[in-house]
Amino acid sequence: MSRTILHLEIEDSVKELLNALLSARGHKVESLASGKAGLARIAGENIDLVVVGAELEDIDGISFISKLRASNRNISIIYVSKVWHDAAIYKQLRSDLKVDMVVHRPLKASLLGAQIESIFQEEKKITSHIEQEETIFKTLQANYLKVLPERVKKLNAAIKTAKTNPEDQYSLLEAIRLAHNLKGTASSCGFGVLGESAGSLEKALASIKDNRLEKNEAAWEEIDLMVDLVRSNATVLGGTPSAQVDKRAFSTLEIDPETDMSLPPVSGPPIPQDNFDVFDDSASARVLVVSKAELAGGGVLSTRAGMKVHVLKVSDREEALERAARLTLDAVLIDIDIKLPGPSLNLARELRSLAQYESLPVAFLAGERKEKDLEDSTHAGAALMLSDGEEGHLSGGDLSQAIDYLLSARSGGRPRILLVDDDQDFVHVVASVLGQEGMLVKVVESGARILAEMNDFHPDLLLLDVNMPGLSGYDVCRLVRGESRYHDLPVIVLTAATGLENRLAAFESGADDYLPKPIAKVELLTRVKVRLERSRLLRERANLDVLTGLPIRRAFMEELDKMVQESERNGLIFSLALIDVDHFKQINDSHGHLAGDRVLAALGQLLKKRFRVEDIRGRWGGEEFIVAFRHIPRNTARGALQRALEELSKLEFKGDRDESFSISFSSGIVEYPAESKDLSDLLRRSDEKLYRAKEAGRNCIIA
Question: Would you kindly state where each structural domain of the chain is located, as residue ranges?
Answer: 4-107, 130-244, 285-408, 416-543, 553-702
Distance separating alpha carbons of residues 526 and 179, to the nearest angstrom: 28
Determine the pLDDT at residue 168: 77
CATH code of 285-408, in short, is 3.40.50.2300
Determine the pLDDT at residue 306: 64
Determine the pLDDT at residue 625: 97
* Helix, strand or coil, per DSSP, at residue 472: coil
Band (pLDDT 50/70/90 cuts) for residue 376 is confident
In 10 A of CB 260, how many CB atoms?
A: 8
- State the alpha helices, DSSP H only, in 25-108: 35-43, 61-71, 87-91
* Helix, strand or coil, per DSSP, at residue 497: coil
Determine the pLDDT at residue 254: 38
Q: Do the two domains 4-107 and 416-543 of this chain adopt the same fold?
A: yes
Widest pairwise Cα distance in the chain? 94
Determine the pLDDT at residue 277: 33
pLDDT digits (tens, 9 = 90+) for 5-60: 999 999 887 887 788 777 777 788 999 999 999 999 998 778 889 999 999 998 99
CATH class of the 4-107 domain in this structure: alpha beta
Q: Which residues contact 216 (CB under 8 A, 6 or more apart)?
A: 208
- Rg of the chain, C-alpha, whole Å: 32
Q: Which amino acid is at 61?
A: G
Determine the pLDDT at residue 540: 81
Which residue(s) pair with 418 in the sheet? 442, 462
| CA distances (Å), origin 347, targets 143, 191, 321, 324 | 40, 49, 8, 11
**Residue 300 main-chain phi, psi, to 5 deg:** -105, 125
Determine the pLDDT at residue 118: 65
- Per-residue three-class SS string for 398-449: HHHHHHHHHHHCCCCCCCEEEEECCCHHHHHHHHHHHHHCCCEEEEECCCCC
Distance separating alpha carbons of residues 154 and 171, to the nearest angstrom: 11
Phi-psi region of 180 (alpha: psi -120 to 50; beta: other; left: phi over 0): alpha
Q: Decide which of 401 and 469 is more confident.
A: 401
Band (pLDDT 50/70/90 cuts) for residue 275 is very low
Determine the pLDDT at residue 467: 80
% of the chain exceeding 70 in pLDDT: 84
Which residue(s) pair with 390 in the sheet? none
Distance separating alpha carbons of residues 466 and 307, to the nearest angstrom: 23
Q: Is the pLDDT of residue 228 over 80?
A: yes
Can you list the positions of beta strands (E) in 41-153? 49-52, 76-81, 101-104
Q: Decide which of 492 and 222 is more confident.
A: 492
Band (pLDDT 50/70/90 cuts) for residue 536 is confident
Q: Which amino acid is at 243?
A: A
In 10 A of CB 695, how many CB atoms?
A: 10
Q: Is the pLDDT of residue 452 over 50?
A: yes
Determine the pLDDT at residue 403: 78
> Average pLDDT over the chain, rounded to whole?
81
CATH class of the 553-702 domain in this structure: alpha beta
Determine the pLDDT at residue 643: 93
Dihedral of the CA atoms 146, 150, 155, 159 (nearest 10)?
150
Stretch 317-325: mean pLDDT: 87
Give, as one character, the DSSP assignment of residue 369. Answer: -
Determine the pLDDT at residue 689: 95
Q: Is the pLDDT of residue 502 over 90?
A: no
Q: Report the DSSP pairing between strands 416-420 and 440-444.
A: parallel
Dihedral of the CA atoms 166, 169, 174, 175 (nearest 10)?
30
DSSP string computed for 597-658:
HHHHHHHHHHHHHSS-TTSEEEEEETTEEEEEEET--HHHHHHHHHHHHHHHHT--EE-TTS
Distant-in-sequence contacts of 683-692, Cβ < 8 A, 24+ apart: 683/576, 683/578, 686/576, 686/577, 686/578, 687/578, 689/578, 690/578, 690/579, 690/580, 690/666, 692/668
Determine the pLDDT at residue 111: 58
**Cβ contact 259:248 at 8 Å:** no
**Cβ contact 643:376 at 8 Å:** yes
H or E element in which residue 688 lies: helix 679-695
Can you list the positions of beta strands (E) in 245-342? 285-290, 294-295, 299-302, 308-314, 331-335
**Cβ contact 516:538 at 8 Å:** no
Q: Which of 154, 41, 101, 69 is nearest to 425 (CA)?
A: 154
Determine the pLDDT at residue 25: 73
Distance separating alpha carbons of residues 103 and 451, to the nearest angstrom: 57
Stretch 255-278: mean pLDDT: 40
Q: Does domain 416-543 have CATH number 3.40.50.2300?
A: yes
Q: Which residues contact 548 (CB under 8 A, 6 or more apart)?
A: 600, 601, 603, 604, 605, 619, 625
Which residue(s) pair with 31 in the sheet? 7
Stretch 561-565: mean pLDDT: 91
Give, as one character, the DSSP assignment of residue 4. Answer: E
Q: Is the pLDDT of residue 531 over 70?
A: yes
CATH class of the 130-244 domain in this structure: mainly alpha
Stretch 354-362: mean pLDDT: 80
Q: Decide which of 392 and 338 is more confident.
A: 338
Which residue(s) pair with 29 in the sheet? 5
Determine the pLDDT at residue 271: 34
Q: Which amino acid is at 9?
A: E
Determine the pLDDT at residue 130: 46
**Cβ contact 399:311 at 8 Å:** yes
Distance separating alpha carbons of residues 678 and 574, to the nearest angstrom: 13
Chain Cα centroid distance, residue 493: 19
Stretch 317-322: mean pLDDT: 89
Signed CA dihedral, 538, 542, 546, 552: sign only: negative
Band (pLDDT 50/70/90 cuts) for residue 671 is very high
Distant-in-sequence contacts of 64-71, Cβ < 8 A, 24+ apart: 64/8, 64/35, 64/38, 64/39, 65/93, 65/97, 65/99, 66/97, 67/35, 67/39, 68/38, 68/39, 68/42, 69/97, 69/98, 71/39, 71/43
Distance separating alpha carbons of residues 105 and 111, to the nearest angstrom: 12
Distance separating alpha carbons of residues 703 and 690, to the nearest angstrom: 9
Determine the pLDDT at residue 251: 39
H or E element in which residue 562 lies: helix 553-570
DSSP string computed for 222-263:
HHHHHHHHHHHHHHHHHH-GGGGB-TTTT-SSPPPTTS--PP
Q: Is the pLDDT of residue 147 over 70?
A: yes
